[in-house]
Amino acid sequence: MPASPGTGDLASIRVFEFIEHQAVARDWSDFLAHRRESGRLYRVDIAEPDARTLSGYLATLHPDPLVVERCLDTEAFSGVYTYDGMVALQLPLTLDWRDSLHPKLSILCFPNALVTIRNVEPRPDDELALIDLKMKASGQSAIESRLFALLDAIVDRSSELTLQARRSVDQLETDMEQPLDEEWISRRILALKRAAAHFEIALEARHRTLMALLSLDSPLLDLQRIREPLRDVVAHIEHSLRYLERIEDHLDELDRHFLLLLQDRTNNRLRVLTIISAIFMPLMLITGIYGMNFRHMPELYWEYGYWVVLTVMLFIAAGLLWYFWRRGWFR
């Protein structure tokens, strides 16, 4: 059970203490030594820990083994759980709407500490999980306010990703108007439909967590001060869900339109083959008749027989072409 992060873990854990609304970097050992002291407020972010390391961290934070079990469970993506002295939230963290897997974000709310655990590698430009560090206004240091800031940022990011999804679908619609490879378009439509379905699952999981938080009645979190703003956040995610449903409907329409285009192109090819077959059938019949090699065929000995037969065949072909043109087969 580690009391402080080892050398290999320094990049995966960040500890801050809020002093006069400013986030001051601390280390893990300082957090463990002073986190229960009255008047202190800590913010901890743990990113991409292995199971053994995370178990050690969580064991020092809370003795309940269910906390470790739920944080390590890759199938548990949503929910709000209360423990002795702690409230835990779980929801997916979407970095790219096209991802097939959305990393899980666990949020542990203690009386004087907010801990986030995410099974994704930290990046230099990744500020979403620590967005609440930017809150410097007076009276905004409570755990509830920082929790709201974090959830609000996650939902706002979801709204941005929903707009990105719409732009991707619009670009696909534009590409379909160009003479592109049919197999590429088919794979593109399937990939976007799969990504939209996975993104919708992540949005629904966030919605379940937020609804559970709204109905939470626990002395550990004073939700009265953020309940109304939380309802606005829920409304935003419901809007994103409805918007994503329209995107999925649009994808279905593009899929049907693509199938109609394929069918139309197939019909055009069949039309050309039909015209060619219809023209050559009588010509092949004439060729077959004069290729039977019967001994008594007077036309074979006629001086102009060859040219007459060729002329007849030419007129038949021209007549059939004119007929198909009049019937609109070349349109």
- At 134 the pLDDT is 64
Q: Are residues 124 and 160 in the same domain?
A: yes
**pLDDT band of 1, cuts 50, 70, 90:** very low
> How is the chain split among helix, strand and coil, in percent rounded to 5?
60, 15, 25
**pLDDT band of 189, cuts 50, 70, 90:** very high
Decide: pTM greater than 0.85. no
Q: Is residue 266 part of a domain?
A: no
CA distances from residue 177 to 169, 173, 253 in whole angstroms, order as listed: 13, 7, 14
Q: What is the mean pLDDT of residues 148-175?
A: 92
Residue 48 burial by Cβ neighbours in a 10 Å radius (0-12, 13-18, 19+) = middle
Q: What is the pLDDT of residues 46-84, one digit of tens each?
A: 887 677 888 888 888 888 888 888 888 878 888 999 999
Q: Are residues 60 and 84 in the same domain?
A: yes
Q: What is the mean pLDDT of residues 121-146?
A: 61
Q: What is the mean pLDDT of residues 96-113?
A: 90
Half-sphere exposure of 175 (CA within 13 A, CB side): 15
- At 181 the pLDDT is 82
If we measure between CA atoms, which residue out of 117, 121, 61 comes closest to residue 89? Answer: 117
Q: Are residues 255 and 276 in the same domain?
A: no
- At 11 the pLDDT is 46
**pLDDT band of 260, cuts 50, 70, 90:** confident
Q: What is the pLDDT of residues 280-289, one digit of tens each?
A: 888 888 888 8
CATH number at residue 311: 1.20.58.340
Domain membership of residue 292 as a residue range: 271-326
The DSSP code for 178 is S
Residue with tokens 């006629």: 302
Q: Are residues 251 and 307 in the same domain?
A: no
Q: What is the pLDDT of residues 17-47, one digit of tens each?
A: 888 778 888 998 889 898 888 888 899 988 8
23-47 burial string, b = 16+ CB within 10 Å, else e? beebebeebbeebeeeeebbbbbbb
Q: What is the pLDDT of residues 206-249, one digit of tens each?
A: 999 999 999 888 888 888 888 899 999 999 999 999 999 999 99
Lowest model confidence (mean pLDDT) among 80-84, 114-118, 177-181, 206-210 = 177-181
CATH number at residue 183: 3.30.460.20
- At 125 the pLDDT is 45
Q: What is the mean pLDDT of residues 159-174?
A: 94
- The distance from CA 330 to its chain's CA centroid, rounded to whole angstroms, is 43
Among 209, 232, 261, which residue terminates a domain?
A: 261
Q: Are residues 230 and 302 in the same domain?
A: no
